[in-house]
A and B are shown apart, each in its own frame.
Chain A
Amino acid sequence: MNELVFFINNVIVAGSVTGSIYAIGAIGVTLIFSIMRFAHFAHADMMTFGTFMVLLLTLAFPGAGGAVGLPTPIVMLPLAMVLTALLAVGIDKAFYKPLRAHGVKPIVMVIASLGVTLMLQGVIRLFAGTGSQNLYLAGERKEIYRLDVPFEMAARPIIVTEPQVILFLLTIVCVVGLHLFLNRTRLGKAMRAMSDNPDLARASGINTNHIVAVTWVIAGGLAAIAGTLLSLDVTFKPDLSFFLLLPIFAAAIVGGVGHPYGAIAGGFVVGFAETLAVFNWTVLLRPVQHLFPAWLEIPRNLAFVGTEYKIVVPFFILVAILVWRPTGLFKGKVI
């Protein structure tokens, strides 16, 4: 039973954490693609920016979370989401909108977003330094929940931390909220209309500039959530989110780029693929060793790939899924 608990801790919990963060990030990437038709590379640094805002707010109001029984960074998250949304709208106004007005090709927008990435990274490093910082300041402590498994043979508990629980809850809220938004609200439908046919959307009285702004607000807000919860799970580093950029793009493409539900599915597929690939299967096989013939000895490490090659996994999955379904898991391009 201990082995099963080990599996749950290392694959189910870890995979859900990675998957949730990829999913929330990929929703933003895919929404921006479906509305503006370009791959927004600065997305990861919008995540970092959001986290940095949380860090600053937490430093400014230490212990504010104590009053409501939540970690202070979580209490500061809504404000950081607003700030990140403002940043996203501002970046669009300053850099992308003039390019769009000239009708440039998507590749120009992509390169511009790379420029924005470098700029944001520089600015954040300038103020935050290059080291890592804990979002839990002195006086606050990461709650760790140990769930005892109700079996006699299980000595180890399932371990979930407070930020992980909050992450799972927020992911559910985001997914349900997004679904309601896209299907029930006029604005969400207008967004779907614009992703389908921008000319017709305009001729149907939809203010497409407004839709673009709304898209940035949503993408910025979600980026702040993803970045902050990632940093709560580990620590804040100026380049932490940047290293998630490629897996997040892989997730968006695996799901069918431009398709928000696809992004969610893609996020979890990539997240679980990563954790399953580095999981040491020997642990699960050891209890059943007596069933194997004596000459077959189970190697000490039976992981598919070493942890150092983790980054390869999303791309292996990406290629494999695109060969099987060229449009991604969901039919891509249109919301």
Chain B
Amino acid sequence: MPSIIDVRHVYKAFGGLKVINDCSIQVEQGSITGLIGPNGAGKSTLFNIIAGALPLDSGQVLLDGEDITNRPANELFHKGLLRTFQIAHEFSQLTALENLMMVPPRQAGESLFDAWFKPGVVREQEDAVRRKALEVIDFIGLHHVRNELAGNLSGGQKKLLELGRTMMADARVVLLDEIAAGVNRTLLGDLVSNIERLNRELGYTFLVIEHDMEMIARLCDPVIVLAQGSVMVEGTIEEIRNNPQVIEAYFGSTAA
């Protein structure tokens, strides 16, 4: 399998603190790759570097062979690399459905000229976007709250909406930042099965940061363990669980 994300020898320091230290990871096309590690291992920093939210000091990030080092998030979006946020972000003054309708890129209506002089074209495309948003909102099981202001949704529903956002854009790779955090068990089941379906039916590749080991075990293969800014081990969840190095990193040397 070719790797769709290829991180090569990345370094990143905040002041004197080296957070990412010669880190190289590969995410295979079509996989759901987990990224775990103790607090302060640099997971979120690495994630933000890949997502274009943080500049790196040195190294290279490739998306399907193309150099995307230090490209801004909005450019990566148009290349099919999307992210969700650890703390769900939403346009709070828009409804759930309108939030999804914000996403699709490149439609007429983008210029004032079109909006005023080609109202037919704009309306047609708005309709197409609305139909797609309705399909997506059905898929993620938020149909019943589609006309609620997104700011009023529960934490878990906002996370589902984040997943819906990636579907609107037909992503190739989705970076999931602790999507299980703060989500109740029932909704978590929905989230996991949605992620599996997106992976299986639409061929999405996922890179997942997660603290919930149960979810990692259910979803991810392979799993990459990050410690002190670089890769410690990589393997199946079973291999990781039984690796003495990992146990030491998580629980300290005395626990081993």
Q: List 30 A-B contacts (CB under 8 A).
A: A181-B112, A181-B115, A184-B115, A184-B122, A185-B109, A185-B110, A185-B111, A185-B114, A186-B107, A186-B110, A187-B111, A187-B112, A189-B102, A193-B91, A196-B91, A196-B92, A197-B90, A199-B53, A199-B89, A200-B89, A202-B72, A203-B77, A203-B89, A204-B74, A204-B102, A204-B165, A204-B169, A205-B77, A206-B74, A207-B75
Q: Which residue from B83, B103, B115 sits with its C-beta under 8 Å from A180? A: B115
Complex CA–CA separation, A189 to B104 (angstroms):
12
**B14 at the A/B interface (Cβ < 8 Å)?**
no
> Considering only CB atoms, which chain A residue lies closest to B51 in the complex?
A203
The distance in angstroms between the C-alpha atoms of A206 and B103, with both chains bound, is: 9
Instruction: Indicate whether B82 reaches chain A with its CB closer than 8 angstroms.
Output: yes
B251 at interface by CB-CB < 8 Å: no
| A interface, CB within 8 angstroms of B | 180-181, 184-187, 189-190, 192-193, 196-197, 199-208, 334
If A184-B115, A196-B93 are given as contacts, then 16 extra A-B residue pairs at C-beta distance below 8 Å, sorted by A number, are A180-B116, A184-B122, A185-B109, A192-B93, A193-B91, A196-B91, A196-B94, A197-B89, A197-B90, A202-B77, A203-B83, A203-B89, A205-B78, A205-B103, A206-B74, A207-B72
Q: A185 to chain B: which residues have CB within 8 Å?
A: 109-112, 114-115
CB distance from A218 to the nearest CB of B (A): 10
- Tell me the chain B residues, 96-137 only, with Cβ under 8 Å from chain A: 102-103, 105, 107-112, 114-116, 122
Q: Which residues of A contact B109 (CB under 8 A)?
A: 184-186
B73 in the interface (beta carbon within 8 A): yes
The 5 closest A-B pairs by CB, nearest first: A205-B77, A200-B89, A186-B110, A202-B73, A185-B115
Residues of chain A with a CB closer than 8 A to B89's CB: 197, 199-200, 203
The CA of A197 and the CA of B102, in the complex, are separated in Å by 12
A residues near B92, Cβ cutoff 8 Å:
196-197, 334
Residues of chain B lying within 8 A (CB to CB) of residue A193: 91, 102
Q: Tell me the smallest distance from the CB of B239 to a CB of chain A, in Å.
A: 33
Number of interface residues of B (CB under 8 A): 32
Asked if B85 is at the interface of the complex by the 8 Å CB criterion, the answer is: yes
Measured CB to CB, the residues of B under 8 A from A are 51, 53, 72-75, 77-78, 82-83, 85, 89-94, 102-103, 105, 107-112, 114-116, 122, 165, 169
Q: What is the chain A residue whose CB lies nearest that of B78?
A: A205
| Residues of A contacting B53 in the complex (Cβ-Cβ under 8 angstroms) | 199, 202
B residues within 8 A CB of A207?
Answer: 72, 74-75
Cα separation A189 to B93 with both chains bound (whole Å):
12
Cβ of A205: which chain B residues have Cβ within 8 Å of it?
74, 77-78, 103, 105, 169
* Bound-state Cα–Cα, A196 to B93, Å: 8
| CA distance in complex: A184, B112 (Å) | 9
CA distance A190 to B78 in the complex (A): 15
Given the complex, which residues of A lie within 8 Å of B108, measured CB to CB? 186
